Structure 1
Amino acid sequence: MSASSLPLLPDERLAAGAVRLAARYRGHFSAETVQKLPVDSYLRPAEHAKVHTHLVVPAEHLATERLDALAHIQGAPGSGLPRVLFVCGHNAGRSQMAAALLAHRAAGRVVMPSAGTDPVADMESYVAQVLMESGLSMAAAFPKPLTDEVVQAADIVITMGCGDACPVVPDRRYLDWPVPDPDGAPLGAVRTIRDEIDTHITELLGSLPGS
């Protein structure tokens, strides 16, 4: 995206988010690191978004996820939980469902970011519905770009149809789940995809430390 096509940044709200993050991570990161990530986390989804005015809150959430990953890499206190990264192409279906299902069943024992190698603007149709049927809410979910921080912090990387674009980092455990893409699939097929992912989650939980 060229400089002339950059969306107008809501500076005051991004600045307020940076202040909150600076307070949260005081003593762990420099002010420069904390200040730049909210803006970068805004610009990345803005490349794909249809409405830029709603991106400030997701940008702060993404910046928080990236700072948490950096803290894990640097061994900050409280950052030692196992991290499972789910990656698919658009981060709008499979990887989001996998992260939501693992979050529900791991009960705070695992950190589970998800990301896309080519994220889109919106979640896939029916994904929120089939997860709601399982008692899970996707109200705060949004497609996120894959960033270096979350890849480097991952203990396990689970790929789901992203092919050669999936990240490869030495000394990580890699799993590939050949789950169908829910893009454009009917509701019944998306339910089947959810259940298939949940079966993989059961196997994964059995292999994690302390299981």
Structure 2
Amino acid sequence: MSDTPSVLFVCVHNAGRSQMAAGFLSHLAGDTIEVRSAGSAPADSINSAAVEAMAELGIDISAQSPKILTPVAVETSDVVITMGCGDACPVFPGVSYRDWALPDPAGKGVEAVRPIRDEIKTRIEDLIAELSQSVTAR
């Protein structure tokens, strides 16, 4: 792991969960962690309920767009967090993998997306604390 760890968030459509997670990590960690997100079958656009839910907390993810998952993105990341990408996530030695079982916000209104958003925020705060400790421990 370099001085600036990199985290890749992966879900199927890269339109909801992974975009919210990337938004939180960028917002809360600033430039201390490199943030990426991708999907195994990217949607055409970001989930509008996810955009609205994040905007309620002052985080704008509306300019983001779903990106295709590539082996290079995985291989060059220190931590890969999957959120239901099925069997499409490539595995490389030396990369730390985590699976966050979170409901898919696709097709849900903002009321249903808020609890998913809040769970992601809690996990991101824990992740930042963990990655901060591992960088300062070196």
TM-score over 0.5 for the pair? yes
CA shift digits 1:26-61 (9 cap, x unpaired): xxxxxxxxxxxxxxxxxxxxxxxxxxxxxxxxxxxx
Q: Which has the larger radius of gyration?
A: 1
Any stretches of 5+ residues in structure 2 without a counterpart? none
For 2:122, which of 193, 199, 208 is the aligned residue?
Answer: 199
SS for the counterpart of 1:126 is helix
RMSD: 1.5
1:159 equivalent in structure 2: 82
Contact kept, 8 Å, 2:42 with 2:67, in 1: the verdict is yes
Take 1:147 and 1:179, find their aligned partners in 2: how far apart are those partners?
22
Any stretches of 5+ residues in structure 1 without a counterpart? 1-78
SS for the counterpart of 1:108 is helix
Contact kept, 8 Å, 1:125 with 1:183, in 2: the verdict is no
Residue type of the partner of 1:117? S
Moved over 2 A (4+): none
TM-score by length of 1: 0.60
> Which of the pair is proportionally richer in strand?
2
Which protein, 1 or 2, shows the higher relative CO under an 8 Å CA cutoff with sep ≥ 6? 2
Query: What's the % identity of the aligned pairs?
Result: 50
TM-score by length of 2: 0.91
Take 1:187 and 1:126, find their aligned partners in 2: how far apart are those partners?
5
Corresponding pairs, count: 133
Contact kept, 8 Å, 1:91 with 1:119, in 2: the verdict is yes
For residue 152 of structure 1, report the CA deviation from its aligned partner.
1.3
Take 1:188 and 1:104, find their aligned partners in 2: how far apart are those partners?
22
Contact kept, 8 Å, 2:81 with 2:99, in 1: the verdict is yes
1:75 equivalent in structure 2: none
